[in-house]
Amino acid sequence: MTEGVFSFHRMQEGCRADVLAVWLHFIKNYTPLAKQLLRHYFPEQEQRGLLARVFREARADEARLWRSFAGAGEKEFVLHFRYFVLAQGRAVRGGSPETPLTPENFWAVLQEFPSLQREMLALTFHRYSPEELSVFLKFEPETIVAVVAQAREKLEAALGPAAGGDFERRDHDALFAAVEKQRGEACVLDKAYVRFVDGQLTWREREEVERHLESCFYCLNRFAEFREAAHFFHVLPPADEAVVAELAAALGLPVQAPPKKKPPWWQRLLGG
Ligand SMILES: [Zn+2]
């Protein structure tokens, strides 16, 4: 987000140098995405404490969140932030509940679908409803419902009754946590997903990325998660002053509540 007071570059520098105003700006702009992810993936956890933990850990150890970011632009950073938020949630929850899905058996089923549908299916198993997904993928909800039904049938055939019912609505975070560890030598850099989506790759580069995505579950999933994070970052408005002040207080940042506006002189005269 380049609007507002700070460019991404200044935000990065400022957070690393622990400049208070920059941290407040960062909190204001990233709280909505953090809240959305925590509510979606860790609904059973206490949300306020978890949210405060995200930013406390981000700032700890000389701005750990920023020091661990190797990319250059904000779009890549949004994805990096997504992983950071999920790591905090998993740490508090103590891991992820079990699922019969593994990177191998899930990928085997995904491969029976065309690429774009694979991405959609990956996000469906991140517990997004067809209606939610149709907002950020170019599919009608009815199409999503139909494809998910096919996938469910195939999964049931492969895994038995464990994959029955509304299987895709259960918590499969353990599957995605496992996939995250499978980054390979030939995997696409986050920067390339951004350029791919922004249409900045050359024809040849694009073809190379597409070919890799055909055969790599890690990249397919990361790409899907990039779309997810970018979507919410883009559509959610920044946090309001009260939320920022509350978080700042929880982090021990020395900020004062914004002064209450004095009523205009005529209202005071009227005793209002
Ligand atoms: Zn890959």
Consecutive sets of 10 residues in the chain, 272 residues long: mean pLDDT of each? 70 95 96 98 97 97 96 94 98 95 97 95 96 93 96 95 91 96 94 90 94 96 96 96 94 72 70 58
Total-model pTM = 0.90
pLDDT in tens, 165-185: 889 999 999 999 999 999 999
**How many helices and strands, by DSSP H and E, does the chain display?**
14, 0
pLDDT of residue 3: 46
Are 217 and 242 in a shared domain? no
pLDDT in tens, 85-112: 999 999 999 989 999 999 999 999 999 9
Are 57 and 177 in a shared domain? no
Tell me which residue has tokens 């999920």: 86
Q: How many CB atoms lie within 10 A of CB 144?
A: 23
Are 111 and 22 in a shared domain? no
Does the residue 18 lie in any domain? yes
- Residue 82 C-alpha to ligand 1 middle, in angstroms? 18
- Residue 122 C-alpha to ligand 1 middle, in angstroms? 15
Are 156 and 208 in a shared domain? yes
Q: Domain residues for 245?
A: 8-96+237-251
- Residue 247 C-alpha to ligand 1 middle, in angstroms? 37
Are 230 and 243 in a shared domain? no
pLDDT of residue 255: 73
d(CA 50, CA 55): 9
- Residue 111 C-alpha to ligand 1 middle, in angstroms? 14
Does the residue 258 lie in any domain? no
- Residue 194 C-alpha to ligand 1 middle, in angstroms? 15
Structurally, the chain folds into a number of domains equal to: 2
- Residue 185 C-alpha to ligand 1 middle, in angstroms? 8
| Burial category of 246 from C-beta neighbours within 10 Å (exposed 0-12, middle 13-18, buried 19 and up) | middle
